[in-house]
Structure 1
């Protein structure tokens, strides 16, 4: 998964799996917290905000972007670096990505609609990028990874989507099993 075509396919698959997952979450489980961490609803809010933020990063004019000055990282390097920094307490989540009170009032269909809009915006935001331009510019400074190119941002976004999907699926399973007891 290194060419732009492969990246777009992986991104599309991660977004589609999250949309499919949202449709399986019962209202009783959506806002329940099986752990001290976020509920499924809170993780969805975080994903919607993150993916919309990624879409905005990709919509920036090339004229406003800086040329890349760091060594380029592949998918595995991005994920390894992120996990290492996260594990050492480097967790920094921008305020706009943290669930708020409004999150607790949203229902399944609103999350599905909001996520579908974010997924669509993210995929459309890639229309001006090409294989040749993905590594030329820094599109964002990630709190843990530092400056990232468009390709690196896509690598992280795919990982981030997959990570939160697995987390939400585990929470759903845990809550459903507890409800059966």
Structure 2
């Protein structure tokens, strides 16, 4: 995918998540079957993109700290497969990526979600196609990924949690 296609897919994913919550008359804080509520899924997505906003703000020379790619880059399908493998091994979000019990209303949650994602899309657009394949970032579950691979992951991760949100809202 090109950078513009990635930005489009990210934007579409963020929008469908926001729309599903915004138009829901159902309690987004209700937890069904001991899974995260729709609100907790949104919080997790916010917590997942916040560090990317910081990373995508770093100057290019600072990104060299994470090393150089020593394998072939993965495409979108390969990233999804790798993520599924890690989930099948029983890996779950921990620490900074786990939603906290917060006293927050739906409107404030959606505002945070929109702000974090709008910032992220702008930062991604500042990178060149070449930069997306040149620089690496550490992922807590998947190891070092190129920026493009991290974006592929973020596209899929957003849709993965969108499905979880739909489950909670049904």
TM-score by length of structure 2 reads 0.92
Unaligned runs of 5+ in 2: none
Aligned positions, number: 167
Could you say which structure has the larger radius of gyration? 1
**Aligned counterpart, 1:96:** 96
Cα contact 1:52–1:121 (8 A) shared by 2: no
3-state DSSP of counterpart to 2:130: coil
How far has the Cα of 1:127 moved from its partner? Answer: 3.0
Counterparts of 1:144 and 1:53, CA distance in 2: 14
Counterparts of 2:55 and 2:70, CA distance in 1: 18
Counterparts of 2:128 and 2:2, CA distance in 1: 10
Identify which of 130, 154, 159 aligns with 1:157. 154
Identify which of 115, 118, 143 aligns with 1:120. 118
**Aligned counterpart, 1:73:** 74
3-state DSSP of counterpart to 1:141: strand
TM-score by length of structure 1 reads 0.87
How far has the Cα of 1:84 moved from its partner? Answer: 0.9
3-state DSSP of counterpart to 1:119: helix
How far has the Cα of 1:3 moved from its partner? Answer: 1.2
RMSD value, Cα: 1.4
**Aligned counterpart, 1:36:** 34
How far has the Cα of 1:48 moved from its partner? Answer: 1.0
Cα contact 1:86–1:144 (8 A) shared by 2: no
